[in-house]
Structures are given as C-alpha cells and as structure tokens.
Structure 1
Amino acid sequence: MMNTFLQKTSRALLGLSFALIAAALFLGQSGGLASIFGFYGVDYGVDSEAGLHTVRIVVALVFAAAAVLALLSLLKQQYIRPLALLIIFISLVPLLSLLGSAHWIDSLGGFPAIGSGQGVIKYFALTAVGLTLLSRSACQSQRYIWLNYLPVGLVLLWIGGMKFTAIEAQGIEGLVRSSPLMAWLYHFFNIQQASNLIGIYDLVALIILAIGIVMRPVFWPGVLLCGAVFVTTQTFLFSYPGSWQSPGILASSGIFIIKDLWFIANLLIMIDIRKRQDCPATGE
C-alpha cells in the first residue's frame, strides 16, 4: 500500500467528493439512484418518495463513511485497505446497473448510446483506485498504470464519442456557455461543431496518454491533456449556476461534475507509479 504525497492527494480528492456527495444526498438530491436501484428490483412501495428517501439516506451514510475513511487514511495507513474495499463496493453497485436498459438512449439505438449512465460509468475510476490501493506491488507494476488509465480512457472515449451526437451537443450547451474557458467556442462554431471539437480533443487526449504509457517522453503531454479535461469540468462548479442547490450543497448537476475528481485521482496515481518506477533507488 502506498502513502506518498501524490497518493495522499488522490485520497484527499476522493474524500472531498464523497463528503460533498453525502451532504447533497442527505439534503434531498437523489441523482440516478432510482434507476440504479430499480435495476436491482428495489420496490419503493406505495409512497415512492418515502422509499427513495430511505435509499438516499442509506447511500448518503455509505458515502459519508467513505469520506471519513479517506480522511483517516491520510493519517494512518491502516485505514487504506478498508477505504479501498468500501470504494470498490460503492463503484460496483451502480456499475452493475449498466446491464439494464435504464441508462441507454433508445432513440439513438440503445447501447452504447449512454444517457443517465454518463454519471454511472464514472464509477470505473473508483474501481481502479480501490484495486490499486489493495495492492502491495502497485508502485512497481506497469499494469496498475494501465488499470488507472482504463477509466480515464473509457470515459473520454465514451462521453467524448457522444459529443458527436445532437443530444449530447445540446446537453452540454449550458455548461459550455457558462464557462469562461470554453464559451468562446460558440463565437466561432455552432453548437454541434463546438461539441465535435470537444469530442475530438477528448479522443486525441486519450490516445496520446495511451501512447505515453509505452513511450515515456509522451507520458506527460498525455497526462496534461487528459488532466485539462477534468480540471476544466471542475470549473463548472463555479461557473454553472445549476451546480449548487444552495451554498455548499451540490445539485444533481454538481454531483455529476464533481465525480471527475475521481479521474484526477487516477491520473495522480499514474504519475506516482511512473515517478517511482523512474526512481527505483529512492522510491520517490
């Protein structure tokens, strides 16, 4: 188990996201819980609101526990393993719901046209982090770089690919227009063209990072290109009015956005492993 500065930073980002998601759930946000737990046949009863409230509180408690473990893991390594096991559990519950039909856009042919599942596929990032934290040899193993690349590459490929569809182009318009970093695109391109350019960037970034895992001189450009995607999405928390339900409490859109911190955690772990591979004598 690793406890370097980069590893601690990755867990701190996870803890922050878990705490904010837990708070939002406690205060009424439900996100995609209905479709996720509907896959498992959860019956919300005659009073569906009351049933969903119960599910929401239970999930909020799980995320709160993960936030506490993430914080404790920064202080003592003995909490890393429980954290890893819990976040793997947190990730697998929604990911398995992808086997149902609720997350797919029927008008675009269903799978792999992803709708509400865009928030669900982000849980692959947690699976990779959890498996890495469980390993005692991750710092020496190239396969753990690939393991943490997979969710990054997958989300950029999948959601980036969706950018070429009209439904996704229109779906991101509000986010893009609110962003001082991206709004300029609409001064030069129409809604679909701007979305296409974002999609092309995502695809180029994931390809360069994949090449960089094999060809070390390209590693940093790949990390920076991919990292820019997820850092930019975090700025939506400050620019997009729909990100917050109230001060300090994420809205549904905010929950979707803050999950991108998990991919930054993946990238930090990749950097840490590569750094340790390059300095085997010191482990730094």
Structure 2
Amino acid sequence: MVTHPPHMRGFESGLSRIPFLAHVALRLPSQPFKLSSFAPTLPRFAAGFRTQRMLVKGKSCRGFDTDSLRRWLELRQELKHSGVPLVELQNAGSGSALVDAVSMSVMRLLAFDLLSVQHRPGPQGGIFCRKGRPVKKVEMLGLVVSVDRRDSYVSFKLDDGTGCVPCILWTNHYKSSYFAHWRREELELQAAIAESGAKNVKLGCLLRVMGRLSGFRSQLQITVLSLHEEKDPNAEVFHWLQCMKLALQSYDSSCPQLAL
C-alpha cells in the first residue's frame, strides 16, 4: 500500500466526494500522480495536474459508483465504433483516448441546428453528431405549440422560431422496467422532477428544456430530464445570443481525430 504525502491526504479525501473519481486509486510518489483514460469526465481537472493515467480498482473500492462507470463505458464503446472526434490531453500516455470535453457537456442549440444533427448507428442505439462532433445532451428554449398527455408520458413540441423539436417527458418512473436498476434516491428525485415539470407543459408557455437526444420512428426528439417555465421576456433573446456565441467559439471549433 502506498503512503501518500501529508499535504495530499486532504486532497485525496476530497476526490472521494466526486462520483466519477470515487473509485480511483491514486499513487503519489515523487513524480506527478497519474490518472487513466476515465479522466475525460473531468478533462480540465485532469489537465491541470499534467494527467497521464488513472488506475481503477473496483474490487477494493467502497462506494463504487457502478452506474456512472457503466454509462461512461457504454458511451466510450459507442464512440469507438462510430469514429467520432476524440481528443487526447497534453502529455497523455500512449493509447489513452479521451472524449471531447464539449461533447460531454450540455450543448445549447437552436432548433434548426438541433434538427440538422446526424445519427450514426452503433451499440445502444448509436449516437448523434453535429458537424462531426458527438451530441449527448442538449438545452433548448421555445414556445409550446402542441401537447399530448398520456398515462406514462407527456409529448409536446417546442418552437423557437427556427423550427419545431419534439420532446417527451416520461412520468412512469415507478412502473417502467427501464428504471428498475435505478437507485431509489435517483428514482424519487427524477420522478418528482417529472411530476412537477409535467404541470408546466401548457400551450403557449415558454419552456427551457434540458435532456438527451433520442430517436423514435426515424425522428429526432429530446427525452426531457428537466424543464422549467421562463418568466423573463428577454430570455429568448439571451438564449439566441448564447447559442450563437457558443456555436462560434466552441461547437464549431475543429476537433482532432484520434484512432482508438
């Protein structure tokens, strides 16, 4: 067992509170410590410490976040089969392919831009890409122009002036087998969010929606994870400006290809 320097013990205990790093075993000799290819989940954090590798010891770890690791591995496998852009951190060790940091964030997109994303087949339904960059979660702001309420979900369309995007908010968290593997705390939280969010879905209201991209009958849609009604009349203008700024400064920037 490696004895960590006194000045790093507090730092090590702090890492245990970060879900994706709760299962990491740090080795801190005289050289800079190393984190492995799971570092892409927190690329800026990793790069700040000249990150090279991370050693994962799931068996010897307590409080191991298996759900987070499983979701991360699924995404990594999808990226590997789809040939999407990947980024490698500076000074990273050989063979450590890292996911693009922008792709791992929630992307703010206008409807016309969102509807232009391409679907690439692969495991777990494949992935969606915008100009070669994978898109996992998105945020959109628009007016509700149609609503369809059912026992297990609420389906609606958002119009932001550039197009209409279908959205679906599931409300059957306690009945669906899809949520059977969820932890009780996560299930209760998501069910409460869905229940309160469903009440805000009304014709003509301005909603800000965050969710993951999915497909249904060859049509793109947003599976809503959270939403709230905007009361500020300037919210739409600010959202437009933010989307254009992010597209120019971040989303449209080139992303190097890295073979896995």
Q: Normalised by the size of structure 2, how large is the TM-score?
A: 0.27
| Higher-Rg member (1/2) | 2
| Structure that is richer in strand per residue | 2
| Structure that is richer in helix per residue | 1
